Amino acid sequence: MVIDLRSDTVTKPTPGMHAAMVNAAVGDDVFGEDPSVKELERKCADLLGMEAAVFCPSGTMTNQIGIRILTQPYDEVICHKGSHIYKYEGGGLAGNSLVSVRLLEGDRGRISVEEIEANINNVQDAHQPISSVVALENTVVREAGSYYTLDQIKNISQFARAQGLKMHLDGARLFNALIETKDKAVEYGKYFDTISICLSKGLGAPVGSVLVCKKELEPKARRMRKAFGGGMRQAGFLAAAASYALDNHITRLKEDHVRAGELGKVLSRVTWVKSVMPVDTNIVIFSVIDQITPEKVLSKFAEQHIKAIKFGAQEIRLVTHLDFDDNMLTKTIDVIKKLSF
Ligand SMILES: Cc1ncc(COP(=O)(O)O)c(C=O)c1O
C-alpha cells in the first residue's frame, strides 16, 4: 500500500465518477456544443451566485485568465506574499498580464483591509503602477490551508470596490473553507468579479477548474481561454467528473480535515518535529528539528511507502484527500511515532 500525501491532486476517479465520465454526453466545446460542459458551467455559476462560468484545464489557467481580464498592462495586483498566483504560476502574471504585484505580509496568508489600504498606489503619480485588483486565496495553500470567513471577505470587498479595485478569488480549495466556516457558497458571487475553483483538488476530479465570473466578463474569459490554448473539444468527459465531484464530494471534505488534524496532533508530539502550523483544513505543514533535514524524513517515509513533499528549508507538507482513508491514517501515525533520528 502506497500512501500518497504529497497533494490532494493525486486522487483517482471513484467508480461512481468513472461511470459518470464514461456515460457523459459530449460534443465539441470549442463550438459550444458540449452539453456536459454547459451543465457544469451552469452548476458552478449557480452555486457561487454568479452569472457565468468557463471550464478550463487547470487552476493556473483560471487564475491567469481572471487576472488577465481584470487588469491592463502596467497595473498592479495586490495579494499575499505567498499567493499561488505569484509564487507558483511560473511568473504567469508578468508574462500573461504584464502586471506587477504588491505583496502583503498578511496573517497566515490572509490580508486585511488595513494592509490593502496602506498599499494602494496614488493613481495621480505616474511613477506608480495603477493598483487594480485585490486577489485573495481561500484556503491558503502556503499557510497550511488557513481560511477567510465570508465576513472578512465582505469587508475586504466592500473596501476594495469603494477604492475602484476589482476582486479575484483563487478558490482552488474554497469548499474546504466553506466546510469549516459554514458560510453559503452562493454569497461569494457578491464579493468577487472572478472566482477560480478547482475540481481536481479535494473534490477528486481528474482534471479541471472553472472560472466563475460576471456576465459581461464571459466573452473576454472565453477569448483568453482560447488564446492560452485552453479550448478543449469533447471536454464533457472531464466536466462530467467535475459535476459528479460537486454533487458527491463536498460534504466529505470534513473527513479530510479531521484526518489532517490527527496527523498534526501526532506530529506535534514527536521529538524530531520542531513545530506544526495550525491545521485548519486538509493541509499539514511542519518543520523538522535543526539536526535533521526534510530529505532525511522523506527518505524514511519512502521506506514505509509514504510520500510527502519538502515545503521549505526545514518544512514538510502532507495533504489529506479522498484516497487517504482511516487505515492509511493509522499506518501513517504509526510510522510517525516510530521514526527516530
Ligand atoms: C491555491 C492554488 N491555486 C491554484 C492552483 C493551481 O491549480 P492547477 O494545478 O490546476 O494549475 C493550485 C495548485 O495546487 C493551488 O494550490
Secondary element (H or E) of residue 209: strand 209-213
**Are residues 316 and 214 part of one domain?**
no
Tell me: do 174 and 92 sit in the same domain: yes
Q: Over range 289-301, report the average pLDDT.
A: 98
**278 and 220 assigned to the same domain:** no
Q: Is the pTM of this model over 0.95?
A: yes
8-state DSSP, 253 = H
**HSE of 132, CA atoms in CB hemisphere, 13 A:** 18
Q: How many domains would you assign to the chain?
A: 2
Which of the four pLDDT bands, split at 50, 70 and 90, describes residue 255? Answer: very high
pLDDT in tens, 73-120: 999 999 999 999 999 999 999 999 999 999 999 999 999 999 999 999
Residue 4 domain-assigned?
no
Angle at CA of residue 91, ends 86 and 97, nearest 5°:
90
Q: Could you give phi then psi for residue 3, rounded to 5 degrees?
A: -110, 110
Tell me what pLDDT residue 23 has: 98
Q: What is the pLDDT of residues 166-214, one digit of tens each?
A: 999 999 999 999 999 999 999 999 999 999 999 999 999 999 999 999 9
Q: Which domain holds residue 59?
A: 15-248
Structure-block grid coordinates of residue 326: 482511516
Residues 219 and 292 in one domain: no
Q: Tell me how far the alpha carbon of residue 151 lies from the centroid of ligand 1, in angstroms.
A: 24
Average pLDDT over residues 326-333: 98
By most ligand atoms within 8 Å of CB, the mutation choice from 88, 195, 211 for ligand 1 is 88
Assess whether 269 and 214 both reside in one domain: no
Which of 6, 84, 285 should be mutated for ligand 1, with most atoms under 8 A from CB?
84
Q: Which residues pair with 197 in a beta bridge?
A: 171, 210
pLDDT, tens digit, 9 for 90 and up, residues 122-168? 999 999 999 999 999 999 999 999 999 999 999 999 999 999 999 99
Residue 244 located in a structural domain: yes
For residue 205, what pLDDT is reported?
Answer: 98
Query: Tens of pLDDT along 48-70?
Result: 999 999 999 999 999 999 999 99
Most ligand 1 atoms within 8 A of CB, residue of 11, 86, 201, 311 to mutate: 201
CA 11 to ligand 1 center in whole angstroms: 15
Is 279 within the bounds of a domain?
A: yes
Q: How remote is the CA of residue 15 from the centroid of ligand 1, in Å?
A: 25
> Are residues 298 and 163 both part of a single domain?
no
Q: What is the mean pLDDT of residues 302-323?
A: 98
The per-residue pLDDT for 219 is 98
> Is 280 contained in some domain?
yes
For 222-235, write each residue's pLDDT tens digit: 999 999 999 999 99
Residue nearest to atom 4 of ligand 1 (CA): 59
Domain boundary, last residue among 232, 248, 264: 248
**CATH assignment of the domain containing 145:** 3.40.640.10
Separation between Cα atoms, residue 208 and residue 192, nearest integer Å: 21
Going from the Cα of 93 to the center of ligand 1, the distance in angstroms, rounded, reads 14
Residues 191 and 264 in one domain: no
Q: Does the residue 5 lie in any domain?
A: no
Q: What is the pLDDT of residue 241?
A: 98
pLDDT of residue 170: 98
Shared-domain flag, residues 222 and 291:
no
Q: What is the pLDDT of residue 68?
A: 98
As a whole number of angstroms, the distance between CA 273 and CA 150 comes to 34
32 found inside a domain: yes
Pair (79, 222) in one structural domain: yes
Tell which atom from ligand 1 comes closest to the C-alpha of 200: 10
Please tell me the predicted confidence (pLDDT) of residue 108: 96
Collect all residues with Cβ–Cβ distance below 8 Å to 185 and sequence separation of at least 6. Answer: 47, 48, 49, 174, 175, 178
Q: 231, 248, 265 — which closes off a domain? A: 248
Q: Are residues 196 and 299 in the same domain?
A: no
Q: Is residue 39 part of a domain?
A: yes
Atom index in ligand 1 nearest the CA of residue 58 equals 10
Kindly state the percentage of the chain with pLDDT values over 70.
100
Are residues 30 and 114 located together in one domain of the fold?
Answer: yes
Q: How close is the Cα of 305 to the center of ligand 1, in Å?
A: 25
Residue nearest to atom 13 of ligand 1 (CA): 59
What residues line ligand 1, using a CB cutoff of 6 Å? 58-60, 63, 84, 137, 141, 170, 172, 198, 200, 209
Same domain, 148 and 266: no
Look at residue 229 and tell me if it is in a domain. Answer: yes
CATH classification at residue 328? 3.90.1150.10
Of 248, 276, 309, at which residue does a domain stop?
A: 248
